[in-house]
């Protein structure tokens, strides 16, 4: 689904657009690594056949707990980066076109090389994915700490924490698979997250609003100079 002429974003470095800084990518990659650590050890602790085959329950449990406790750290550290703070703001905010993106069956349609909906840096699905993961990490951290240190809690609440931790795990597996499904089918998006840069053709198809923001309307190029304020 990427712009054919421009390849998948690795070639044609001349007019590539910066999408993610090193800090933004580091937050993503470290979070992804920790999440995989949690999910793989979760499977080893939970699925009876795997649990019996792998053994070493003490070690696996320690990895699971430490990866889980560390999971919010990259995003918190990322707040030191201005670019990441900007991403958080963008991911948080829904605009009318985001609701339109969710409603419309042709949300990914492209006309004349541009996506039909003026999607910004993140589409509504990416925004919901980010919000879900943020909420999920916090809820899993809370319930996980209750299960790791159960002494202060009555049994009823421990059972409730187990219930939440178990069912939310299923949801996280589903959402993570969905995220990977869309990412792996889109080499332009992969390049964006791996190298930090994308082609303008890819941006025009998937994030036309964001592209315009980087590179305002060509007809306005002459008037939007080095300092926009001077031109107002």
Partner 1 sequence: MTDKADPAYDETYDKASGKPSDKTPGKPSPVGRRVIIGMLGLGAAGIVGGATIQRAIDRALAPVSKSVSGLVPAAGGGFRFYSVVDEVKPRPPAAYTLGVTGLVKAPRTFTFADLRALGQTRITAEFHCVTGWTVPGVRWQGVLLRDLLDRVGLDPAAKALRFRSFDGAYTESLTLAQARRPDVLVATSMLGGPISHDHGGPVRLYVAPMYGYKSLKWLSGIEVVDRVVPGYWEERGYDVDAWINASNGYG
Q: Which residues are at the interface with partner 1 (CB under 8 A)?
A: 46-49, 51-52, 55-59, 86, 89-96, 98, 118, 120-122, 127-128, 130-132, 134-136, 138-139, 142-143, 146, 150-151, 154-164, 166-170, 208-210, 212-213, 216-217, 220, 223-224, 228-229, 231-232
> Least distance from C-beta 50 to partner 1, angstroms?
9
Closest CA to 35 of 67, 3, 5, 78: 67
Residue 15 vs 159, nearer CB to partner 1: 159
Residue 122 vs 202, nearer CB to partner 1: 122
The number of residues in the chain equals: 232
Residues 34, 36, 37, 40, Cα dihedral to 10°: 160
Residue 2 vs 129, nearer CB to partner 1: 129
> Least distance from C-beta 10 to partner 1, angstroms?
25
Who's near 143: CB < 8 A, 6+ residues apart?
Answer: 161, 162, 164, 165, 168
> Least distance from C-beta 182 to partner 1, angstroms?
18
91 CB-side CA count, 13 A:
16
Residue 37 vs 209, nearer CB to partner 1: 209
- Provide DSSP, 157-210: HHHHHHHHHHHHHHHHHHHHHHHHHHHHT-HHHHHHHHHSEE-HHHHHHH-HHH
Residue 55 vs 113, nearer CB to partner 1: 55
Residue 168 in contact with residue 142, Cβ under 8 Å?
A: no
> Least distance from C-beta 41 to partner 1, angstroms?
15
> Least distance from C-beta 109 to partner 1, angstroms?
17
> Least distance from C-beta 210 to partner 1, angstroms?
7
Q: Which tokens is 194 given? A: 């791996």
Residue 12 vs 118, nearer CB to partner 1: 118
């Amino acid at each position: 689904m990427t712009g054919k002429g421009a390849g998948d974003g690795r070639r044609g470095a001349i007019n590539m657009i910066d999408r993610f800084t090193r800090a933004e990518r580091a937050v993503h990659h470290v979070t992804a690594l920790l999440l995989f650590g949690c999910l793989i050890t979760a499977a080893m602790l939970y699925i009876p056949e795997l649990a019996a085959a792998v053994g070493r329950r003490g070690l696996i449990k320690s990895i699971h707990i430490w990866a889980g406790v560390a999971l919010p750290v990259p995003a918190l550290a990322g707040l030191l980066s201005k670019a990441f703070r900007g991403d958080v703001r963008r991911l948080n905010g829904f605009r009318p076109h985001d609701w339109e993106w969710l409603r419309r069956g042709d949300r990914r349609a492209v006309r004349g090389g541009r996506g039909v909906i003026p999607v910004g840096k993140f589409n509504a699905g990416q925004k919901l994915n980010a919000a879900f993961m943020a909420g999920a990490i916090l809820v899993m951290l809370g319930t996980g700490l209750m299960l790791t240190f159960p002494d202060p809690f009555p049994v009823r609440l421990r059972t409730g924490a187990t219930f939440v931790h178990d069912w939310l795990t299923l949801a996280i597996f589903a959402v993570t698979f969905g995220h990977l499904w869309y990412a792996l089918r889109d080499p332009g998006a992969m390049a964006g997250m791996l190298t930090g840069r994308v082609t303008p053709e890819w941006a025009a198809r998937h994030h036309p609003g964001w592209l315009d923001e980087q590179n305002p309307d060509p007809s306005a190029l002459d008037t939007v100079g080095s300092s926009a304020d001077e031109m107002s």
